[in-house]
Structure 1
Amino acid sequence: MGIGIATELRVNRIRVHGDSQLVVSQVNGFSEAKEERMIKYIEKVRKEISTFEEFQIMQVPQTLNTRADALSKMASSRMFEPGKIYTEILPQPNIEKEEILQLNEEPSWMDPIVRYLKDGVVSSDRKEGRRLVTKATNYIFDGQELYKRSFSWPLLKRLPPSAAELAMR
């Protein structure tokens, strides 16, 4: 899950510390997974780490990882109190999730702004073009996502209408 979060945050370089020597050696390719479920996890991890510019995973001895060990034991036991520790309960193993590739983008209000920021394309109507250029100064396009600048907040990610509706739900 941590690798997934790093991918969403568009981290380029990552160093992972794990306390399982077996998992670390399987991800590094020094040993092979034998059971089918573990093979799927290793394949998923290798696919995800291939997007990083630099990826390192190293084993930390359990004696130096007591806090993480205690948290994992507490989260997996039935004695922890929800709300005291951030946990996420997955409805199914994440190797069973279907990957969906969206092929057609829906038209949205963001399209003219993205076109302008990406390619410098403005409307042939002079008044509309000037309005678009003025409006676009409030946005940043990083090649994939559109963000709105904010005075006292971090950049605000803009979503197409269907994604915004899903996020609101």
Structure 2
Amino acid sequence: MGIKSFQGARVEITRTYHRPIAVADYMSRKLVTFTPEQTLLEVMETFMRYRITGAPVVDENGKLIGIISDSDCMKQISEGRYFNMPIGDMTVARYMSTEVMTIQGDTTIFDAATRFHRTRHRRFPVVENGFLIGQISRKDVMLATLKLSGHNWRG
């Protein structure tokens, strides 16, 4: 007599994990934005009020057209001293950066982390068809990593 197995046929268990790892899952959606017509004084007041260091600039339709940062403001404050230029007359359109590095919402947070590591950027606007839909920051990526720390990161 041979040995009989009392186990039935093995069924392969398939587990599906729905782990949000896309930029869109962790980006900020409620953003402070500026228009090109606003003044640098308004920008600085807003930066102080919300304790931020930069924000996207959008047109009347919500399309991303630039970004304004505290560095842009510092440059104008510094130069204004030499040229006796009142900062209140300076508009965002004149001083914003128009070469904006953006990111797509379906990019993984790991790819976003790589982009942050390779650049000195603190934030990336998230766009869809040219329209601003959110923003991801270094802090958002770190928070996402903490939430995922108990999971297998492959995938």
Q: Which has the higher helix share?
A: 1
Q: Relative contact order: is structure 1 or structure 2 higher (C-alpha 8 Å, sep ≥ 6)?
A: 2
Q: What TM-score, normalized by structure 1, do the two folds share? A: 0.24
Larger Rg: 2
